[in-house]
A and B are shown apart, each in its own frame.
Chain A
Amino acid sequence: MAAATPKSIKTQTNIYRKSYLSPSSSTLLTPQTPETLTPLRRSARHVSRRIDLGNGQENIASINGRERESIEEMNLIQKRERAPRKRTTDDDFEAKLKKPENLTTPKKKNGKSKKDSLVSEVSFSPVSPNRSETTKKRKKTEEKKTSSNKRVYYNKVEFDGVEFEVGDDVYVKRREDAVSDEEEDPEIEDCRICFKSGSNVMIECDDCLGGFHLKCLKPPLKEVPEGDWICGFCEVRKSGQTLEAPKPPEGKKLMRTAREKLLSSDLWAARIEKLWREADGVYWIRAHWYMIPEETASGRQKHNLKRELYLTNDFADIEMECILRHCFVKCPKEFSKASNDGNDVFLCEYEYDVHWHSFKRLAELADGDSESDHEWNSKKEEEEIDSDDEEMEFDDDEESGRGDSKSKRGGSTSARAANSLKGRFFGLEKVGAKRIPEHVRCHKQTELEKAKATLLLATRPKSLPCRNKEMEEITAFIKGSISDDQCLGRCMYIHGVPGTGKTISVLSVMKNLKAEVEAGSVNPYCFVEINGLKLASPENIYTVIYEALSGHRVSWKKALHSLNERFAEGKKIGKEDDKPCILLIDELDLLVTRNQSVLYNILDWPTKPNSKLIVLGIANTMDLPEKLLPRISSRMGIQRLCFGPYNHTQLQEIISTRLKGIDAFEKPAIEFASRKVAAISGDARRALEICRRAAEVADYRLKSNKTAAKNQLVIMGDVDAAIQEMFQAPHIQVMKSVSKLSKIFLTAMVHELYKTGMAETTFDKVAATVSSFCFSNGEAFPGWDILLKVGCELGECRIILCEPGERHRLQKLQLNFPSDDVAFALKDNKDLPWLANYL
């Protein structure tokens, strides 16, 4: 995870340079210090629900690429509004946008609208010139005319010639006087040697973050070197000596850049969560504070990077006057890419809870680009449920002072049980690391570890090889169903053995479809995913479906009633649109009840004319429809899709696509593993697990013998060991190592089996055989009771199957493994060579 500090070349950019009006005249309030505020919420929950989309055309005129993108974003938002159950992030789109934070905002818009009293409904029409007029120019006179007694929320505001958008990161002034002493905000850093800014290329020291002109260095550098670079002053300081840094020339004050001020906590950074204009015409933002490592409870930790910030769960409403200018806070991945973005780039990977003083990875980052639909859905649902609660909190914020709302909140949180769902789980914010463990940040992954990480089942692959045909079929099915004007309900049954990519194929099809919905080529729909095995009872499915559609939780009977009305009679649930609904039911066989009514209901809905319901059922057994009542099988057995087990070339392809770019496996090793799995089950999970286990075995082998092995590859032997561990039943090893009497006991059982031909014997007979063996081979017969104990211990390991020991002489015994296995295990035994005679 250790993200390298980017080599930032400080290019001279004037984009953000502005003539900054001294705000001292107009500011009414200084921003409150974060410590006194009530944070209340993890992550970005406070969102503007009213977004003005109006500033379209003028912005296009001012040719600024970024702006155009944001307009595109608006349009997308609008579409998303229509199809709320979709991922918001689409890859191309994301690539265009610089900041991931932008994407987080539109997600939240589906919640119930709060503050209906304050703002009238904003229509999402793309062009509304009036509105844009007011936002565009900030003229006092005009404002007075347009301002009503309402707050107006915006998505984007141009303020003093600079555009601020929800989700932007900005510097915020900390003190009133701090700004006034520096008339000009130094946008461009001065060189540490010549103390001029100039237009030459600058290089940044990775230690002190000072900037240097390439030509001022001794010896001068031609270009920015690869990797870390440390300036001469820091190198000298590190070696223990002191070197006077060159003093600035007389009369010229050393200007501190905003970055320096921020990192020495003279400035703050914040993310804009909301923009609005108060009734009196003053623009406000809701700031989501960032924090520098020094301000946290644990202080700067060793692994903290110089430009690292933490996102807190701290919010404050501040006037826009306090905003200095933009800065850029990025996730590690983009941070490492952002090498040329100047001085105001920061890294943020963790979230900091100011109450519990704990750290947590940012959820958006952890989920990665390939965040699954499921996760997103659940998150969204959570938010929806949240909204009433949030409203209450809002009132708190506004009516009472911040201080006491904090105490209120603290009290109510502790009084609620964490595991009962009342809107959401309370107290989860308590979970967090007190310190970020060092091993996570300061660890350079070896090739083997990288391989292990990509082979994890949890890692979502970027592409799904070998399932193109099936995915096409699913796509065609869904598209065919929803793109008709008269959307007909349909049903598809997908079957295949575990680990053949059924669920993930459907999910990735849905993901692609969502991208198409956003692009506008497919009608919007809603998607509900249910796993049969995660339901408490089959009937619960009604509750879950109803909750997914309406957001309310009711008993299953009531849910069934409403769903019947919805699908059979076409009545709407709540304010939900008339969208087609796609229902994905995983592990369908778990829904089979005695009278099979659950399955019948679910599969009957699609046949109704107005249902607009599409059911995708996934299960393992091929003949599930045939096992069901005829009225059900006739409804679901029409369209089927079979996911056959993977063959060895496919498995090989799956593994090698995952391992692309990582040199950790010998080629034949992968082939061996995939052939083996293909021969047994064709389960991709199994193949991946074998490879991961093999990598672990190799890692263990390399770590345990410290000799620096040149060959860091996973070899055939490791794969073989992994396969042995996974597939070989351990009974032979156990039989070889059991006590002497147990061995004799087993031999006696095999002997009995050969003699009588009956699988089942009684303890009586076995004991007699054992005693005759012992007698004829000079062993001491231990007595019946000990022998009984020995037998029961074997039974416990399931080497033999036996009745409880209280039956004693009448106890029935049977070998659990083929007699050949026993013979194989005991044949060449050193302690008891005579056993072979009886086997």
Chain B
Amino acid sequence: MGKENPAEKALNLIRGRLCDPTFVFRPLSVSSDSNYSKLKFIVSTSITEGCNNSILLLGPRGSGKAAVLDLVIGDLLEEYPDSVSVIRLNGLLHSDDNCAFKEIARQLCMEHHLLFSKMASFDENSQFIIAMLRECGLAHKTVIFVLDEFDMFAQGKQRLLYSLLDAMQSVTSQAVVVGISSRLDADQLLEKRVRSRFSHRKILFLPPSREEFDSLLEHLLSLPSDSSFPSGYVSQFNEKIKSIISDTRFKNMLKTFFNANSTVNSLLKYMLSLDVRFRAVSLMNLESGLLSLENFKAALSSLQRQPKLEAVKDCSIVELYLLVCMRRLEVKEQSSYNFISVMKEYKTIHDSFQTSDYYAQNVCLRAFEHLKERAVICYAENRGQFQTGEYRPMKLLISASELHQGMRSHACCPAMLLKLLDH
């Protein structure tokens, strides 16, 4: 095919959009109330007025903290190309003070095209950072420290935070510390003397409202009219999207989806999984190339999977027997059991009901270990590693109702087992 399929092109465009946080968060940040404009105001006044600030961005995961910050930093780098330098640290990588100082020194060196030595000691690095902050301040350059996973920096003696914030107490330095954390109590983790030096600007990121989501969805999915797509296709595509979005069934679907998680990122994930479906459909159905409600439905079900239930569904008969035995033991209020006691229970069931499925102990042990590997059951406690597996107390990781449901939908579960489960 010489010509690219418009459906494929549309797919690529939408996929590109979904993966680009700037595109997603730009429409959410126009109003003066938005976090974007608040954050930008704080950072840009610190640049123009040459003062120091420290800000904390808080909010649940996936609410766009880092994305909005990147948006702000990107804009500021354009606005003040020479006078902003950004140092990025991540709490998961640099929570150790020594390593964080080294990383800051390295990034400062990179930024200013200086030679960096790996051998420099903690002392040298910290003095270097203070000297650099001073020099940057004299040259009207603002250093923005982005501390992702801020709560991880608040462990131990908090030497990094103290030195950064204390260096910012001098007139010559010009720095902004931006902490990003999903822990709402991140500022409470700071030590008293560190907290006293912190500026306590807090910006809370909350999920957008339902209306905002609707407009965001349209913004994301509709194709631009001034692109190289055939014009008929664009209008057809956009109309279809509009009709889907206004459809009550779609609205219900979206509602059930947001019931679980209502952050922007989760919507993006949903859309991305949709995208995969769409691809499958469009490859099959080249001439239509439109999104349909079924695509959304399939995408939703692919997202909301129930791994434990599926695990039960795929169990073999002997594994089901073991699960039922454990359940029965729990009902008998025998809180602690191991493979041996489960085998005893299995034997009594077999003896009293004369089932046809009787397996030798070593077969059962294999099944037992298999269940453990699939995390349907687990050891009750971490102690006693020296004991062999059969004797260690076990726990069921799946609730009675799930087990019940799973066995119902199982392809060849003996009716007897269901009955056994009930009493």
**Residues from chain A with Cβ under 8 Å of B188 in the complex:** 729
Indicate whether A428 sits within 8 Å of B131 (C-beta atoms), given known contacts A730-B58, A734-B206: yes
- Tell me the residues in window 51-71 of chain B with beta carbons closer than 8 Å to chain A beta carbons: 51-52, 58-61
A540 to chain B minimum Cβ distance, whole angstroms, is 7
CA distance A808 to B306 in the complex (A): 13
Interface pair B105/A798, CB less than 8 Å apart: no
Q: Which residue of A lies closest to B52 (CB)?
A: A458
Interface pair A793/B207, CB less than 8 Å apart: no
CA distance A768 to B401 in the complex (A): 9
Interface pair A693/B120, CB less than 8 Å apart: no
A306 to chain B minimum Cβ distance, whole angstroms, is 22
- Tell me the residues in window 6-49 of chain A with beta carbons closer than 8 Å to chain B beta carbons: none
A536: which of B41, B59, B123, B184 is its contact (CB, 8 Å)?
A: B123
CA distance A794 to B273 in the complex (A): 24
B259: which of A426, A729, A782, A798 is its contact (CB, 8 Å)?
A: A782
| Apart from A419-B114, A433-B82, 14 more pairs, CB < 8 Å | A418-B128, A458-B168, A498-B192, A531-B166, A686-B196, A686-B200, A726-B202, A730-B202, A731-B184, A738-B262, A782-B256, A785-B307, A797-B184, A809-B396
CA distance A455 to B125 in the complex (A): 30
**A431, A531, A587 — which one has the most chain B CB atoms within 10 A of its CB?**
A431
Q: Which residue of B lies closest to A732 (CB)?
A: B184
**Residues from chain B with Cβ under 8 Å of A790 in the complex:** 260-261
**Cβ-based interface call for A449 (8 A):** yes
**Cβ-based interface call for B402 (8 A):** yes
| A-B complex: 5 closest residue pairs judged by Cβ atoms | A417-B117, A498-B196, A418-B114, A419-B128, A536-B122
**Cβ-based interface call for B372 (8 A):** no
CA distance A738 to B183 in the complex (A): 14
B182: which of A428, A785, A797 is its contact (CB, 8 Å)?
A: A797
B260: which of A443, A692, A741 is its contact (CB, 8 Å)?
A: A741
Interface pair A415/B115, CB less than 8 Å apart: yes
10 pairs of residues in contact across A and B, judged by CB atoms under 8 Å? A359-B139, A443-B48, A497-B192, A693-B199, A699-B45, A725-B201, A784-B309, A785-B306, A790-B260, A799-B184
B141: which of A366, A368, A431 is its contact (CB, 8 Å)?
A: A431
**Cβ-based interface call for B383 (8 A):** no
Indicate whether A689 sits within 8 Å of B195 (C-beta atoms), given known contacts A459-B171, A797-B182: no
Q: Which residue of B lies closest to A435 (CB)?
A: B82
B50: which of A359, A440, A457 is its contact (CB, 8 Å)?
A: A440
**Residues from chain A with Cβ under 8 Å of B120 in the complex:** 417, 419-421
CA distance A790 to B61 in the complex (A): 12
Chain B interface residues toward A at CB < 8 A: 32, 37-38, 41-42, 45, 48-52, 58-61, 80, 82-83, 98, 105-106, 108-109, 112-117, 119-128, 131-132, 134-141, 157, 159, 162-163, 166, 168-173, 182-185, 188, 192-193, 195-197, 199-202, 204, 206-207, 256, 258-262, 304-309, 375, 378, 395-399, 401-402
A260 to chain B minimum Cβ distance, whole angstroms, is 31
CA distance A363 to B135 in the complex (A): 9
**Cβ-based interface call for A425 (8 A):** yes
Q: Which residue of B lies closest to A456 (CB)?
A: B51
- Tell me the residues in window 415-449 of chain A with beta carbons closer than 8 Å to chain B beta carbons: 415-421, 425-428, 430-437, 439-440, 443, 449
Interface pair B112/A430, CB less than 8 Å apart: yes
**A367, A418, A785 — which one has the most chain B CB atoms within 10 A of its CB?**
A418
**Residues from chain B with Cβ under 8 Å of A569 in the complex:** none
B196: which of A414, A437, A683, A696 is its contact (CB, 8 Å)?
A: A683
Interface pair A739/B260, CB less than 8 Å apart: yes
B34 to chain A minimum Cβ distance, whole angstroms, is 11
> What per-residue 1/0 map shows which CB atoms of A572-592 lie under 8 Å from chain B?
000000000000000100100
**Residues from chain A with Cβ under 8 Å of B260 in the complex:** 739, 741, 782, 786, 789-790
CA distance A320 to B171 in the complex (A): 39
**Residues from chain A with Cβ under 8 Å of B52 in the complex:** 456-458
> What per-residue 1/0 map shows which CB atoms of A444-482 lie under 8 Å from chain B?
000001001100111110000000000000000000000
A431: which of B51, B60, B126, B135 is its contact (CB, 8 Å)?
A: B135
**Residues from chain A with Cβ under 8 Å of B196 in the complex:** 498-499, 683, 685-686
**Cβ-based interface call for A534 (8 A):** yes
**Cβ-based interface call for A226 (8 A):** no
Indicate whether A439 sits within 8 Å of B60 (C-beta atoms), given known contacts A418-B109, A433-B82, A458-B171: no
**Residues from chain A with Cβ under 8 Å of B170 in the complex:** 372, 375, 458
Q: Which residue of B lies closest to A810 (CB)?
A: B395
Interface pair A536/B121, CB less than 8 Å apart: yes
**B50, B109, B402 — which one has the most chain A CB atoms within 10 A of its CB?**
B50
**Cβ-based interface call for A733 (8 A):** yes
CA distance A704 to B30 in the complex (A): 12
Interface pair A700/B48, CB less than 8 Å apart: no
Q: Which residue of B lies closest to A763 (CB)?
A: B399
**Cβ-based interface call for A132 (8 A):** no
> What per-residue 1/0 map shows which CB atoms of A730-746 lie under 8 Å from chain B?
11011001111100000
Chain A interface residues toward B at CB < 8 A: 358-363, 366-368, 372, 375, 414-421, 425-428, 430-437, 439-440, 443, 449, 452-453, 456-460, 497-499, 531, 533-534, 536, 540, 587, 590, 620, 683, 685-686, 689, 692-693, 696, 699-700, 703-704, 725-726, 729-731, 733-734, 737-741, 764, 767-768, 771, 780, 782-786, 789-790, 793, 796-799, 806-810, 816
Q: Which residue of A lies closest to B83 (CB)?
A: A437
Indicate whether A738 sits within 8 Å of B60 (C-beta atoms), given known contacts A420-B124, A458-B171: yes
A782: which of B105, B121, B304 is its contact (CB, 8 Å)?
A: B304
CA distance A469 to B142 in the complex (A): 39
Interface pair B202/A725, CB less than 8 Å apart: yes
B139 to chain A minimum Cβ distance, whole angstroms, is 4
CA distance A808 to B397 in the complex (A): 6
B306: which of A452, A726, A734, A786 is its contact (CB, 8 Å)?
A: A786
**Residues from chain B with Cβ under 8 Å of A739 in the complex:** 207, 258-262
**Residues from chain A with Cβ under 8 Å of B192 in the complex:** 497-498, 620
CA distance A689 to B106 in the complex (A): 31
Interface pair B60/A796, CB less than 8 Å apart: yes
B80: which of A428, A437, A459 is its contact (CB, 8 Å)?
A: A437
Interface pair A533/B157, CB less than 8 Å apart: yes
Q: Which residue of A lies closest to B127 (CB)?
A: A421
**Residues from chain B with Cβ under 8 Å of A440 in the complex:** 48, 50, 140
Indicate whether A809 sits within 8 Å of B115 (C-beta atoms), given known contacts A419-B128, A452-B51, A741-B259: no
B61: which of A367, A499, A730, A796 is its contact (CB, 8 Å)?
A: A796
Indicate whether A785 sits within 8 Å of B308 (C-beta atoms), given known contacts A430-B114, A431-B141: yes
A6 to chain B minimum Cβ distance, whole angstroms, is 24
**Residues from chain A with Cβ under 8 Å of B141 in the complex:** 431, 433
CA distance A738 to B262 in the complex (A): 7
B381 to chain A minimum Cβ distance, whole angstroms, is 10
CA distance A233 to B89 in the complex (A): 58
**Residues from chain A with Cβ under 8 Å of B157 in the complex:** 533, 590
Interface pair B308/A784, CB less than 8 Å apart: yes
B20 to chain A minimum Cβ distance, whole angstroms, is 24
CA distance A171 to B403 in the complex (A): 95
Interface pair B206/A534, CB less than 8 Å apart: no
Interface pair A368/B48, CB less than 8 Å apart: no
**Residues from chain A with Cβ under 8 Å of B58 in the complex:** 730
CA distance A452 to B48 in the complex (A): 12
**Residues from chain A with Cβ under 8 Å of B114 in the complex:** 417-419, 426-427, 430
**Residues from chain A with Cβ under 8 Å of B202 in the complex:** 725-726, 730
CA distance A535 to B246 in the complex (A): 63
B399: which of A620, A699, A703, A784 is its contact (CB, 8 Å)?
A: A784
Indicate whether A458 sits within 8 Å of B51 (C-beta atoms), given known contacts A533-B157, A693-B200, A806-B375: yes
B184: which of A361, A730, A740, A771 is its contact (CB, 8 Å)?
A: A730
B3 to chain A minimum Cβ distance, whole angstroms, is 43
Q: Which residue of B lies closest to A544 (CB)?
A: B123
B182 to chain A minimum Cβ distance, whole angstroms, is 5
Q: Which residue of A lies closest to B172 (CB)?
A: A366
Indicate whether A431 sits within 8 Å of B115 (C-beta atoms), given known contacts A375-B170, A780-B256: no
